[in-house]
Amino acid sequence: MANEKILVVDDDTNICELLRLYLEKEQYRVLLAHDGATALKVFQESQPDLVLLDIMLPQLDGWQVCREIRKTSDKPIIMLTAKGETFDKVLGLELGADDYVVKPFDAKEVVARVKAVLRRTSGSPEDAIKEVVFDKLSINLTNYELRVNGKKVDTPPKEMELIYHLASNPNRVYTRDQLLDEVWGFDYYGDSRTVDVHVKRLREKLEGASDKWELKTVWSVGYKFETKD
């Protein structure tokens, strides 16, 4: 059962208490801060395992807090961003955040993201190198690098995780809900169109690379990474 420490940083005390309730239900230990300066102080003193970090904060904003944490720590950070702030999401990931959640959110979704990020970032050393290689295709999840015909292809983190997951289990069929659960970490009812959009983008990157494998749709079921003899 979980015992990791989670630092929740938000100036809205209602949001903090709601997240505390849901996280403690999952046996996480929860620390709270309502401004950026306090967040850094609590982080340095308590060394939490993960930070849920709002952007709009008094004293120091979320960007500044994220930058400061990243100077000394690689502990995972999930940004809480207002709806529609696409630039904020990109900036957060560039600054070293591991994921983001858009407000207003379902507290269950946040808990699912926390579980997924902790799962991804707590791998044992022997699992450090994660790479699968096929004809004219290399998927390296250690450095999040996709190579097609030897050339590096810019690929967002979630697309990398999706193609790695499928290609690590060739010829296995996954439903959209299974992929939401295993790649996104959503353990609640998610929107399966999210999977479709990511598969479409991956197909555009992989199109025509090889006739020995294919990212294939299994109609009425889901998707698989099919290898051919």
State both tokens at 4. Answer: 């990791």
What's the DSSP call for residue 11? S
DSSP code, position 104: S
Question: Average pLDDT in the 19-47 region?
Answer: 95
Amino acid identity of 227?
Answer: T
How confident is the model over 148-193, as pLDDT tens digits?
Answer: 999 999 888 889 999 999 999 999 999 998 888 888 765 444 567 8
In this structure, of 24-33, 139-148, 219-228, the range with the lowest mean pLDDT score is 139-148
| Residue 137 to residue 113: CA distance in whole angstroms | 29
Give me the residues paired with residue 33 across strands: 9
Contact of 52 with 7, CB cutoff 8 Å: yes
121 has a pLDDT exceeding 80? no
DSSP 110-150: HHHHHHHHHHHHT--GGG---EEEETTEEEETTTTEEEETT
> Read out DSSP for 69-94?
HHHH----EEEEEETT-HHHHHHHHH
The 10s digit of each residue's pLDDT in 56-96 is 899 999 999 999 999 999 899 999 987 666 656 667 777 88
Instruction: Decide: helix, strand or coil at residue 174.
Output: strand
- What domains, with CATH codes, occur in the chain? 5-121 (3.40.50.2300), 127-227 (1.10.10.10)
Residue 144's closest CA among 130, 134, 133?
A: 130
